Each structure stands twice: as C-alpha cells, then as structure tokens.
Amino acid sequence: MSLFQAFAEVCDALAATTKKLEKRALMADYLHALPVADAGRAALWLAGSPFAETDGRVLNIGGALLQKAVGQLAGASAEAMGAAYRRYGDFGAAAADLLYGHAPDKAVLTLEDVERGFAALAEARGPAAKLRLLLDLLGRAVPGEAKYLIKLATGDMRTGVKQSLVEEAIAEAWGGGAADVRRASMLLGSLPEVVRLAAEGRLAEARMKLFHPLGFMLASPVQSVDEAVARFTEEIAEETGGDVAGAERVGQEGAPEIGDLPHLPTAGRCGAPDDCSSEGPEQKSAATVPALRAAQLEDKFDGIRAQLHVEPGAEGARVALYSRNRDDLSEAFPELVEAFAGIGEAAILDGEILAWNPAAGATANFGAGRALPFAALQQRLGRKRVTEEMRREVPVVLVVFDALYRAGRLLLEEPLAVRRRELEEFGARWAAETAAIEARGQSRLFGEPDAADFARLMVAGAWQLETADQLDAAYAEARARGNEGVMIKSLASAYQPGRRGLAWLKLKRELATLDVVVTGVEYGNGRRAAVLSDYTFAIRDPEDGSLKNVGKAYSGLTDAEITEMTEFFKAHTVEDFGHFRTVEPVVVLEVAFNNVMRSERHASGFALRFPRILRIRRDKPVEEIDTLARVEEIYHSQPDRPVETQQA
C-alpha cells in the first residue's frame, strides 16, 4: 500500500532544493521503491498533471470551489483564508495550515485512492456534485496531503520540477537512457505507460499513439531584415560547421534540392510567383546571401496554431485538433472535423486555423480565398457549442505548413526539406477531399451566395529566396495580404517539439507586444462598475519562474468579452478583497504599449506606459508568456528610452 503522504513528503523535499541533480535523485529513489502501477501514478503527478496527455479528462475545478471546500472543512471564514493566503502566497500551503486540527491525524489515503478521487471529480457534473466529492477526498487527507491535492487540482505544484526532469528520474530509476525515456514519452503521451515500459526494459517498443498533442516547435522573433539575415546566417553556419557558402543543398539522403522550391524575384510576389518580375538571378541588383539559399520562406498567418491528428476508420476518419496549450479545439471547429473525416491516411500536421473568405481572388499562397483578421475567430473559442449561424458567418480553414507523422512514420527528425515534400504529397492527395461540406458563410457576405465548395485543408505556400531585398519585399506583401509577417526556416532543421531556436525565425515589424498573464482584477467605474474590467498582469522571471507584475490595462476587450471574463474570474478567485481580487494566473493576454519605463511600483522593476489589450490568447499556455528578460530587451532597445529616474 503506497500512501499519498509519502508523495507529499517527496514534493516538500523537491521544493526545498534548487539543485537539479538532487531533485532527480529524490524522484528516482522514490519511484523505484514503489510498485510499478503506483510509480506510474506518482510520476504523472510529479510532473504536475492529474491525468495523462492521452486522457481527455479534466478536473474542471476552480479556485472558488476549492475555497468553499477548505472553508467548510476548516471552519474558516473568507477573511481567515485570505490572511492564510497572504502568509504563504500559495493556496495549497494556506489550506494545509487552516486544516491543522480539523483533518485526520493518521494518513490513510493511497495513491490508488487519489486516482479514483480524481476520476470521480472529472466525471461529476455541476458544482454541487464536485463539492461533495472534494469534501470527501480532502476530508480523508492529512494537512500535508491536502496541500498537494489542491496543488494538483490547480496545476501549480511549485516544486521546481518539469516533465523533462521526471523523465530523467525514470531513466535513473530503471537504467534506461534519458533520450529513450523522452522519446517513449513523446510517442505514448502517458508517463504511467512509460514507467511500465522502463521497468520492463522495453522502452524501444514504444510506438506513436495519435490523439495526444506533440509539443509545437516555436520560432524566435526578429524585428528587421538585417537581424533576420544575421541570426539565420549564424544558425546555418552552426548547421554546416561554418561552411555557409556551401549551404545550397541541405537535408539528409533523399531530401529535395533547395532549387525545388519556387524562387522569389527581387521585386517580390504579385498574385503568384510566376506573375511577378521576370528578372532572373543574374539580373538581381541585391547581393545573394548564401545562408538564405538554405531557407524556406512562408507567410506568418494570424490565426490559431493547431495540430491536426487524423486516423482513418471504417466509418470515416477520427479527427482531432489541438491548440498550443494542448487543449482539444475540435468542438470549436466542427466543420473542420467533418471535412477531414474523408481523409484516408493517418497523419499529424502542424498548421494554423484561419477565418476565411472563400470568395476572394487568387493570392500567392492559394488559388482563391483570403484569410480574415484574427478577431473573426474570437467568438469561436472556448465554446461548447458552435451554432449554424457562427459557421455561416465565419468559415474556417486549416492551413498546414509541416508534416510530423504520416502513414506510420514519425518525421520529426527528418529535415524540413523532406517534411515539406511529404506535406505537399499529402495535400495533393487529400486536400480536395476536404471540400465535401457545404460552402456557406463569408461567401454570401462577399457577393457570391452560390460559391462552390472549397477545400478546408490547404498547404501553405513556400518559396526560396536569395537576397535581403527579396525578404524585405516578401514581408511587405505578406502584410498587404493581411498576414502578420513572414517565417524563415532552415530546410535542414528537424522538428523540435517545444523548442525555440534560430532554425525558425519570425519577422514581424509591429509595435512591441507582450504575452502576459492576469494575476489580479478589479471592478471598473461608471457603466463598468458591476464588471471586472481592469486587469493587472505579469510576466515570468526566468531566474526562479515567479510571476512579476508589469502593468494594468482596462481597454481593448469588448463588452461581451468583459462579461465573459467577469464570470470566469469570479469562479477562479484566489483572494477577494471586495473591489480587487487576486485570481488564478491562467488567462493569457496579448498587450501593446507605447514604451517601457523603470518603476518601483511593480515587482518586475518595469511598467508599461499606456498598455492596452489586443486580444485574449486562448491558444497560448501560461508557460509561454514573455519573460522579464524580454521586457528588459525592449526597454534597452528604445531609442527614446525614458529617463531612468522617471516612475510609472
């Protein structure tokens, strides 16, 4: 019998040390001493998740419900809970303090008991049913156990442990290589399964399971063509061992030559690559940049990054769409699921969901149609039911730009040149099959009510370029098409889930923006006096992972969004001070601002001047918000940087 108390004690020990090797050893010793089934449960929870990635269940428990349960069990008032939270800055630790003298003296909860408790909570519907189950589970826990039950429920363990370190601990516990454990974890999406294979010495038998999202490869931002060329040249030099001039052929055996991509004329693109300037390479005025010949250029779309999983079946393909924060988007875009049901080949593709006007004319990316602004997608996010009216008003497509898995073959380690070929072959075979649903919606708004069906799966255009002038022109034309900018990708690059490097760059010339997380909310004034409309937000300090406030914004959201956020924040309040509330840091915003100033008002040491909310980033996980280092970088890059002594 493996007690949950031992798990809680290990977590306390992990939180007490900052040394990675000590953390790994603590977890390895603990896991190896457990029966394999319990070791699988513990490994999953050490990584901070109540359920495996392949398990679609969620606890769906907000801070308000947890406070209610702890208040009833501890006989504590809201004021007492607020005071405890202020002492610890963590609701799990605060709850443990409040429960002393009100909880059992002897630990009886097993790891299996907790697993059953989580399963029941995930299945329960409605706050009353969930509250009863919470009271039962927390009521059987000693204070130290309650602390980590709450931390698991909120997804905020604060032990300094990431899944990658748990994977290393599994390797240390059973003698497998960390790379083998990490690969099995990526393929299976289930740490309990990985533990079982590691314990049995069968990690090599792990095979890809669809319908758990892989990590998304990320691009590094650049602000100018010169910066893009310099950083990309640096990357290609590293890839080729300094032989930048020889980087005209990349990839492993079987990869296409770079020349297989369409070329960009110096004058840029018009309607399509062949419609632009007819100048040949020898007529271009700008000097060729050798590194750019090892690059693939794409538009950067302004939509929702999505990963498509599709697997054929007797009654149509099973289809799922996942966001960057690994949420299932399928319910928000049912027409894509319906359209892709005709695909007869297993695949995982990386792409972007775009609101779409199918009646627009041809562009350099597609035969017909044009992307609509991101704002058109906002009403589709976070909804359990998408009405026919929404489907008519905002048609959507999935534009794919990478192939991660196809017909039983994982492609992550193949160079982009090979993955691009696989993607184009897939699109040529199946894109037409995705036009099988009725084309309605924006076509009626643009004067063609009887428009023909259009493919809901589209392959993004890709081009070869040689000069910085071409890149500059390509950026301008991408912006003219309503896209955010351009992507520059090394054709030799492997797909690295969750990694951000120089192999992929995104060129965006816009006012500086930051992705931040809301930490506090307060009621507005005047007609907004009854809604939580003013949001304090934070960035992450990379040194210790803590959140540090950097500003407050109250403009940019619609009345409907503010009403929605008010209800959400009431259900996810950590501490209620009346007019102001601290809330669970789960809502990510993209904010713009005029400049960055030094400030003693915020823990970050900076404040944003005239911040305004551009959008709610429902597609972005909290782990990917901007950091204090990024704020400092923006501050020092300002040519009209404020005087150091000026306060916000």
Q: Which residues are catalytic?
A: 300
| Chain-centre distance for alpha carbon 377 | 17
The Cα 343–Cα 319 span in angstroms is 9
- Which amino acid is located at 128 in the chain? A
Q: DSSP for 10-67?
A: HHHHHHH---HHHHHHHHHHHHHTS-HHHHHHHHHHHTT-SS-TT--------HHHHH
CA atoms within 13 A on the CB side of 297: 33
Question: Considering only CA atoms, which of 217, 62, 74, 242 is closest in space to residue 153?
Answer: 62
Structure tokens at 372: 């609509």
Here the tokens at position 329 are 């988007």
Q: What angle do CA 625, 383, 325 make, to 5 degrees?
A: 25
* 44, 48, 52, 54: CA torsion to nearest 10: -140
d(CA 149, CA 563): 31
Segment holding 409, helix H or strand E: strand 409-410
Would you tell me how many other CB atoms lie within 10 Å of the CB of residue 396? 26
Residues 553, 538 contacting (CB under 8 angstroms): no
371 token code pair: 């992307």
> Dihedral (C-alpha) 10, 14, 15, 18: value to the nearest 10 degrees?
170
Contact 411, 486 (CB under 8 A): no
Q: Where are the alpha helices (DSSP H) in 497-540?
A: none
Q: Which of 549, 555, 522, 554 is nearest to 537 (CA)?
A: 549
- Find how far residue 132's CA is from the centre of its chain: 33
**Alpha-helix runs per DSSP H in 548-593:** 559-571
Q: SS3 for 300?
A: strand
Cα–Cα distance measured from residue 370 to residue 164, given in angstroms and rounded to the nearest whole number = 40
Closest among 595, 588, 602 to 634, alpha carbons compared: 595
DSSP string covering 530-543, please? TSEEEEEEEEE-TT
- Give the separation between CA 380 and CA 184, rounded to whole angstroms: 34
The answer to whether the CB of 328 falls within 8 A of the CB of 211 is no
Burial of 385 (0-12, 13-18, 19+ CB in 10 A): exposed
Cα of first residue to Cα of last residue in the chain, in angstroms, is 57
Residues in the chain, overall count? 648
Helix (H, G, I), strand (E, B), or coil: what is residue 480?
helix
Other beta carbons within 10 angstroms of residue 81's beta carbon come to: 24
Round to whole Å and give the CA distance between 581 and 401. 42
C-alpha–C-alpha distance, residues 329 and 260, integer Å: 35
Residue found under tokens 């005071």: 83
Closest to 350 in 3D by CA, of 380, 327, 323? 323
Tell me the two tokens of residue 5: 């108390």
